[in-house]
């Protein structure tokens, strides 16, 4: 069954390049990005895994762990990781699940038979520290993902979880945000005492509240 936003991310045990894991134990109290790629020793996947390895400090800064998956065996992952390091200039620094029996792929609906009945598509699940699924993205095999965009969505998810705001189109950390329509003007005055720019009664703009210093 498809996994939807707000669902509890199912737990699993798996073999990875860093040994056997229980997913929940591996996450601990952190958020996680679980992403699948179609196949080892393929060009787009090689560039993606190099990019994620380089971005690992950015994920860590946000309290997020990353873990990849394909239906290849762990010995393939180990051999391929040398190619990733050689061609992308980054050593694999996060676990890759070897899902040869497709247990996790099936659990997370990562194989889309009308696209390819053998390999996983490029799925992304952002899972919060309560094990809730907060974001899902699916790309086809031929299109590499933009992991800066995944960092951007994590910034939005964390900000909007902590403040009664939403982030507008193309928002990035530090940009102005939108007061959620559910917050009345009366309550908004308490939360945003410096006021807001009201373009429409439902479109109220305030500076990023996480960047505000209190005086
Ligand atoms: C790739 O990673 O380059 C790739 C994998 C499967 C199908 C097409 C491209």
The pLDDT assigned to 1 comes to 76
Task: Pinpoint the alpha helices (H) of 89-173.
Answer: 103-107, 147-162
Angle at 53 between CA 52 and CA 55, to 5 degrees: 60
Lookup: tokens for 48: 């993606």
CB of 141 within 6 A of ligand 1: the answer is yes
Orientation of helix 43-61 relative to helix 74-88, angle to 10°: 80
Rounded CA separation 80/137 (Å): 25
Centre of ligand 1 to C-alpha 122, Å, is 10
Q: Could you tell me the pTM of the whole model?
A: 0.95
Q: Per residue of the chain (215 residues), what is the pLDDT tens digit?
A: 789 999 999 999 999 999 999 999 999 999 999 999 999 999 999 999 999 999 999 999 999 999 999 999 999 999 999 999 999 999 999 999 999 999 999 999 999 999 999 999 999 999 999 999 999 999 999 999 999 999 999 999 999 999 999 999 999 999 999 999 999 999 999 999 999 999 999 999 999 999 876 54
The pLDDT assigned to 212 comes to 73
CB of 28 within 6 A of ligand 1: the answer is no
Rounded CA separation 153/170 (Å): 10
Q: Is-catalytic flag, 45?
A: yes
The pLDDT assigned to 214 comes to 53
Lookup: tokens for 113: 């038979």
CA distances from 150 to 29, 123, 129, 140, 155 (A): 20, 12, 17, 16, 9
CB of 142 within 6 A of ligand 1: the answer is yes
Query: Which residue owns the Cα nearest ligand 1 atom 7?
Result: 141
Classify residue 36 by its DSSP letter: E
Centre of ligand 1 to C-alpha 154, Å, is 26
3-class DSSP state of 89: coil
Centre of ligand 1 to C-alpha 45, Å, is 6
Q: What share of the chain is helix, strand, coil (3-state, %, to 5)?
A: 35, 25, 45
Mutate to test the pocket of ligand 1, among 39, 49, 144 (most ligand atoms within 8 A of CB): 39
The pLDDT assigned to 211 comes to 84
Q: Which member of 45, 52, 110, 177 is catalytic?
A: 45
Rounded CA separation 38/66 (Å): 17
Centre of ligand 1 to C-alpha 75, Å, is 19
The pLDDT assigned to 66 comes to 98
Classify residue 211 by its DSSP letter: G
- Residue 46 CA, closest ligand 1 atom number: 2
């Amino acid at each position: 069954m498809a996994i939807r936003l707000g669902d509890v991310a199912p737990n699993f045990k798996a073999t990875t390049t860093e040994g056997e894991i229980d997913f929940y134990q591996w996450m601990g109290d952190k958020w996680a990005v679980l992403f699948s790629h179609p196949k080892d020793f393929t060009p787009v996947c090689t560039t993606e895994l190099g990019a994620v390895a380089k971005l690992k400090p950015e994920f860590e800064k946000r309290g997020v762990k990353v873990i990849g998956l394909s239906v290849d065996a762990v010995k393939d992952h180990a051999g391929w990781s040398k190619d990733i390091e050689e061609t992308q200039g980054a050593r694999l620094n996060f676990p890759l699940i070897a899902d040869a029996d497709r247990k996790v792929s099936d659990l997370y609906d990562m194989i889309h038979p009308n696209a390819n009945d053998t390999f996983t598509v490029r799925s992304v699940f952002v899972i919060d520290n309560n094990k809730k699924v907060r974001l899902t993205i699916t790309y086809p095999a031929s299109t590499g993902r933009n992991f800066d965009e995944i960092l951007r969505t994590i910034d939005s998810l964390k900000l909007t979880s902590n403040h009664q705001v939403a982030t507008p189109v193309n928002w990035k950390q530090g940009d102005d945000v939108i007061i959620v329509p559910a917050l009345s003007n009366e309550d908004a005055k308490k939360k945003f005492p410096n006021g807001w720019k009201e373009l429409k009664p439902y479109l109220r703009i305030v500076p990023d509240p996480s960047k505000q210093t209190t005086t």
